[in-house]
Amino acid sequence: MDYIEILPRREGTVVRNIRSFSAAEILDCGQCFRWENTAENTWRGVAFGRVCTLVEEEGALYFPHASVEEFKRVWFDYFDFGRDYNEIKALLCQDKNAARAVDFCPGMRVLRQEPWEALCSFIISQNNNIKRIRGIVARLCEFFGEPLGDGLYAFPAPQRLTGLQKEDLEPLRCGFRAEYILHAAQMVAGGDIDLQAMYTMNLDSAREQLRRIRGVGPKVAECALLYGMGRVECVPVDVWISRVLERMYPQGLPSEMASVGGIAQQYLFHYARHSPAFAGDA
């Protein structure tokens, strides 16, 4: 396991002994929609109502505006530094297909995002592409989120959206998804859906609850649980993973991967989307 060092530097924090980490692989792979590559080796994003700048250095990460206390409280969990990705990769690499995916993107991680943002973002993701999802999410935050400075906004809480009508979301250009966003906000804000409980709830019960929200089917529920509640056993199946399963795993993912199926899915998803070799895989 990487036993990272967390040290103060000027007004920020430097994290050393990082091995399983690539910002490009993690932040531009379709699991999150609020990060931008602003300069060479530099990324800026918003999560949990905070702006974060991340600079990749040789064997280290620099967070120039985050204190050590903030890093430990927010970003350590967000970037899943408490999980042993070396152990996970060793497990996955026992399978020849998964080994190719891990070799293609060895710095991949699954983020631990804010549950409401993950749910809402993946409702928006339905029948959509990543560029359009980013645009809709950005407009949602600009119109209804709290300003954080420098043109950035927090993700709006569900309570902020509960009094709105579909017409109020027309500037987002989110189409039929407006009804689903508003219903989700009402269910969460009203306490009918307890997202915090889903971190530990029986998984089938959590899926059933999420699917009470209009527009939330199996894939969106799995995405919300995986990316928002840390349920790494959940495996969202979209068109790319359908191709992976058909071509590589017609009987389904091996049982040995079950406990980390969502992480395996993320390696395989990125490999299928971006590796020219995928077209030739048997």
Exposed/middle/buried for residue 94 (C-beta within 10 Å: 0-12, 13-18, 19+): exposed
pLDDT band with cut points at 50, 70 and 90 for residue 1: low
Kindly state the percentage of the chain with pLDDT values over 90: 95
- Tens-place pLDDT, residues 243-276: 999 999 999 999 999 999 999 999 999 999 999 9
Same domain, 220 and 158: yes
Q: Both 119 and 77 in a single domain? A: no
User: Domain containing 54 — which CATH number?
Assistant: 3.30.310.260
Return the pLDDT at 2.
65
* Total domains present in the chain: 2
- Looking at the domain assignment, is residue 128 inside a domain? yes
Q: Are 131 and 224 contained in the same domain?
A: yes
Residues 70 and 154 in one domain: no
In a domain, 93, yes or no: no
Residue 199 sits in which domain range? 115-229
251 found inside a domain: no
pLDDT at 209: 98
Mean pLDDT of the chain: 96
Q: What is the mean pLDDT of residues 113-129?
A: 97
Q: For residue 11, what pLDDT is reported?
A: 87
Same domain, residue pair 142 and 216? yes
- Residue of 72, 89, 131, 219 with catalytic role: 219
Domain membership flag for residue 172: yes
Decide if 45 is inside a domain.
yes
Active site residue 219: yes
Question: Is 137 in the same domain as 225?
Answer: yes
With 80 as the cut, is the pLDDT of residue 281 above it? no
pLDDT at 3: 81
Average pLDDT over residues 30-34: 97
Do both 119 and 188 map to the same domain? yes
> Is residue 190 predicted with pLDDT exceeding 80?
yes
At 222 the pLDDT is 98
- Statement: residue 52 has pLDDT above 50: yes
Tell me: the pLDDT tens digits for 210-223? 999 999 999 999 99
Q: In this structure, are 76 and 122 located in the same domain?
A: no
Say if 242 falls within a structural domain.
no
Cα separation, 235 vs 87, in Å, equals: 19
